Every structure is written in C-alpha cells, then in structure tokens.
Structure 1
Amino acid sequence: MAGKEPPNYQRVVDDLRRRILSGELAPGDKLPTEKELQQRWGFSTTIVKHALTLLRSEGLIEGRRGSGNYVRDRTRLVRRAHSRDMRKRIGSTSPFTRDSEAAGRRPSWEAHSEKIPATQHTAERLGIQPGEPVMFTRYRYLADGVPIQLAYSYEPLAVTGGTQVEYPEQGPVIGVVARMDFIGVAIDRFVEEVTTRPAMPEEAEALRLDRRGGRWVIAVERTYYAGQTAVETADIVFPGDRYRLVYEVPVDPWSSPDEPDMP
C-alpha cells in the first residue's frame, strides 16, 4: 500500500530543507519570495507562510524586515568547558576569543561594570550577606558582528576591591581565572547548571532573535570557587542555534576489584 501523501506545507519544507542542507542554497542566499513559492507549488499563501515559519523554527532561515527570507549561517561556536579556563596571565585571551577564533570568526564584546549591593539571590550564590558590595558586569559578545552570548557577572568586592583587577575589563589580564591568579586567589573549580527556556524580551532584542522563529535560549548559571569561597557567579545566555556546549568530565581511575585498598 502506498504511503500517505505528506501535507502540502511539508512538501515545501522538505524541498527547501533539502536544498539548504545540500548546499544548493548556501548561507546568506535569499530564498524565493512567497509569491514565487506560491507560483512554483500552486499552494495558497497560508500554506507557504506556514512552511517558512517551520523552517525559521528549525533555525535554517531568517527573515529580514522588508527584504525577505535568507539561509542562516548555522556555524556554531564551540564552548569546551574542560579547557576554557587555561591559566594564562599577561597577554592572555578570553575564553570567548578562543572560541571565536577556533571557528574562524572575529570576536568582539561590549561590557559595562558598576558597583551594586548584592541581592538576596546573588548573596546566596556567593555565600555573602545581602547588601554587601559586588562588582556587576553586563556583557554582550559578538562573532563577526552577530550577537552570540549575553553574560551577567557578579564578583564580591571583598575579594577584588582595591586591586588591579577590581574592574574586569580594565586590568592587566583577561578572564576570571587569570585575574584571580593575578591577585593570588587560586580558583580550583567551577559549577555550572544548564537549562533551556524561552528568551526574555530584553534578551531576544539584545541577541536579535527572529520574532517569527525559535526564541529559545540555553541558560547557564556558573559559579567559580577558590576552596570554599565563591569568587564569581554569572548568568550566561546563549541562543541555542549559535553555540554548542561541550563538557569533558574525568572519571576516577579504575582499580581491579581483586586489588586490596591501599592504607
């Protein structure tokens, strides 16, 4: 028995997806207009619009106001958690710079720092009292001019206040680990909690997310520790289609069950 014919909108989706994934339509290419797709397939405006909406939700195309639909560049930056904090001091590059350059992209970022009192939530994450002063830094990272990451960082001024690295973007070294090393604070671990959620309106605007496509983000809550002291906590937001997170976790060495435990 012959298979059931797919819905009309799915036929349009499958055709355009195939052409995009095969490279026939390359990143940056403009798709046929809605009118041209209607004429090619003989389908209604509603069917064509639905097909394009599905392709946007898959992250394959993006709409540009007043211009049409274009094939998206699906190259993702790779964030390798196990090597992102290599200890480098003077002249070091940030982990984001390394991620971007590894992908052949030009990195840039915007940052603003200010001293604020810790909120209850921030204080709990840092293990300090609410109201204690922290350095709050808001970041927006771009690759080839495209927003690709947001970060909101909080550092207790009891650790960095009065030092050369008090303001994260104005000191002699870059990156949390290198900056803390510079003032003799040895970070020995970080903890990350990863979730996905819909983008908040301000995040969607800052990241230039397509309103007609998917607006989900990867949210990472990260805290750095030196011993039992939390020295920085941050909320990091990635568009799910622009970044790939990679974790490598060591496993305790294996020992034979026949081998006695060493005293």
Structure 2
Amino acid sequence: MTDNAQPGRVGYRDIANDLRRQIDAGSLPPGSRIPGENDLMSQYGVEQPTARRALDVLKNEGLIAAKRGSGTFVREFKPIRRVSPDRLQANTSWGSGKPIWNTDVGTRPRTEGVTVEVELPPAAVAEVLRLDDGARVVVRRRRYVVDDKPVQLATSYYPEALVAGSAIAEINTGDGGAYARLKELGHGPTRFREELRARMPRDTERELLGLAQGTPVILIVRTAFTADDQPVEVNEMVLDSAAYVLEYKFTTED
C-alpha cells in the first residue's frame, strides 16, 4: 500500500492496518519511531485528520505510545511472568520468609504509597469474608514498581478481629509478608482462589499506573482460605496488562 497510495483513496483504517502489519512483521520493532502525522500525510496522500485517526487507532490498541516532545513509538513489551500456583507455594515462597514476587521477577519490587486503615468493607468483600453486619476490616493499599515503572495496584482486606494488633496492621509486615503473619496467628492460608477479568482502567488507576492511551488493566481478586475453609484475606489487584504475562500450571492428577 505504501508504494501505491493515491490521494482520496486511502482511509485511516488502511493506514492503521499497514502500520500494524509492519509492527507485527518486525520492520517497526519495539522502541522504533512511528511516522508522524506530516510524514503519513505525505506518504499516503491523505489529509491531517485521516493521519491522526490512523495513529489514534493504534494508540487505542496499545501498540504505540506518544512521548511528549519526542514523537510516537512502538511500545516495548518486557513482560513480568506471573506464575501460578508457584508464587503461592508456602515451602518456596512466603512460608520460607520470601516475598511471592520472587517467583515473578526474581527481586522484590519497590513498594510505594503503603497505607493501612480500619474500615467498613465493601458489601462484596464482607460477603466473601463472611463477616457479620458492622464488622470491620484492616485494609492495606499499595503500589508496586518494577524498574521505575508502576505495574500493579493492590488492596487487601483482612477481618479486623483476626489481625488486630499484628504486623498485618502495620506498614511493614516483615519477612514473608501477611501470609507468614497469618500463619503465626494460627490462620495460615492453605488454599487460594483467583478470579480474573479485563476492563478499561478508572481515571485514578490510569494515573497511578501511568498507563498509555488504550491500555486495559487485568483485575485479579484473590481469596485466601485456611485448612478449615475460613476466608482470611481478599486481595484486589489491578495490573497493567502491557506489563504482564499470566502463566498457569496444571496437572492431570488430583
């Protein structure tokens, strides 16, 4: 198409499709600069609104991102591989005093903006935790940063009656994190359930994660249960979908 473009005959979707093919083929590799509006106008023989709409299509697909004062570039994808259920195994992760992040990135990410509050839980959380009316929860909120890039927001809810006075109600939960502290309290988790869905981010999530235009998030809600099936934590995680590959391992054995 680039050699045969004729004025008035090329639409914005044609341009977007052509650039997408170049990205997929590797002729426009990650980090490479995308032609600007003026270049596209000249190359394809189109007006500025058509060139702009073509770039907007690729931005909304999360394939390219604009850098203020520098231009528009193909997004670089260096994924964090989130491996389940390996990351929750007590003998190799939190049970041995290590953060569960070691399974994902090999190092502890920087944790920012940690807050701990005692609140009334959202109705859905209260239902999952099987709380009585009026029962409160300890809420831990934080943001995780890897290589100076925010990649995840997390909000954890614990029954106040279960964790009051423990390190879970402090900013620093200590080695092994909250699951190790739950074990010390006699409520160590032995089973987890994770529910996943994708959606577009809320404005605050987009700002806190520094998301490019058109980037969806992955919402993971994890519930931790004890051996006697008592729910002890609900953790709502919002992940930058461009930063993650989710890997799950299964066997055919019971």
TM range, smaller chain: 0.7 to 0.9
Question: Given the superposition, is the C-alpha separation of residues 55 and 82 from structure 1 closer, same or farther in structure 2, using an over 3 Å criterion?
Answer: same
Matches within 5 A, 1:231-242: 231-242=232-243
Question: Given the superposition, is the C-alpha separation of residues 251 and 7 from structure 1 closer, same or farther in structure 2, using an over 3 Å criterion?
Answer: farther
Unmatched 5+ residue regions in structure 2?
none
SS at match of 1:84: helix
1:82 aligns with 2:70: no
Residue in structure 1 matched with residue 98 of structure 2 by the alignment:
93
Q: Deviations over 1:145-176 (max 9, x none)?
A: 22211111111122222224432x41322334
1:220 aligns with 2:220: yes
Q: Distance in 2 between matches of 1:138 and 1:98?
A: 21
Runs of 4+ in 1 over 6 A off after TM superposition: none
SS at match of 1:241: helix
Residue in structure 2 matched with residue 39 of structure 1 by the alignment:
42
- 1:91 Cα offset (Å): 7.4
Picking from 59, 64, 70, the partner of 2:62 is 59
Name the structure with the higher helix share. 2
Residue in structure 1 matched with residue 230 of structure 2 by the alignment:
229
Q: Distance in 1 between matches of 2:99 and 2:172?
A: 13
**In 1, are the aligned partners of 2:118 and 2:138 still within 8 Å (CA)?**
yes
1:127 aligns with 2:161: no
Question: Given the superposition, is the C-alpha separation of residues 38 and 97 from structure 1 closer, same or farther in structure 2, using an over 3 Å criterion?
Answer: farther
Q: For residue 114 of structure 1, what is the amino acid of its counterpart?
A: E
Taking structure 2 as the reference length, what is the TM-score of the superposition? 0.82
Q: For residue 152 of structure 1, what is the amino acid of its counterpart?
A: T
Residue in structure 2 matched with residue 181 of structure 1 by the alignment:
183
Q: Distance in 1 between matches of 2:33 and 2:129?
A: 48
- 1:208 Cα offset (Å): 1.8
**In 1, are the aligned partners of 2:37 and 2:51 still within 8 Å (CA)?**
yes
Q: For residue 187 of structure 1, what is the amino acid of its counterpart?
A: P
| RMSD between superposed Cα atoms in Å | 2.7
SS at match of 1:25: coil
Unmatched 5+ residue regions in structure 1?
254-263
SS at match of 2:59: helix
1:157 aligns with 2:160: yes
Q: Deviations over 1:111-139 (max 9, x none)?
A: 21122233433221211123323211112
Q: For residue 240 of structure 1, what is the amino acid of its counterpart?
A: S
Aligned residue pair count = 243
Q: Distance in 2 between matches of 1:229 and 1:18?
A: 51
Q: For residue 222 of structure 2, what is the amino acid of its counterpart?
A: R
1:108 aligns with 2:110: yes
Picking from 187, 193, 196, the partner of 1:191 is 193
Question: Given the superposition, is the C-alpha separation of residues 58 and 215 from structure 1 closer, same or farther in structure 2, using an over 3 Å criterion?
Answer: closer
Q: For residue 206 of structure 2, what is the amino acid of its counterpart?
A: A
Picking from 12, 25, 31, the partner of 1:9 is 12
Residue in structure 2 matched with residue 30 of structure 1 by the alignment:
33
Residue in structure 1 matched with residue 120 of structure 2 by the alignment:
117
Q: Distance in 1 between matches of 2:135 and 2:211?
A: 35
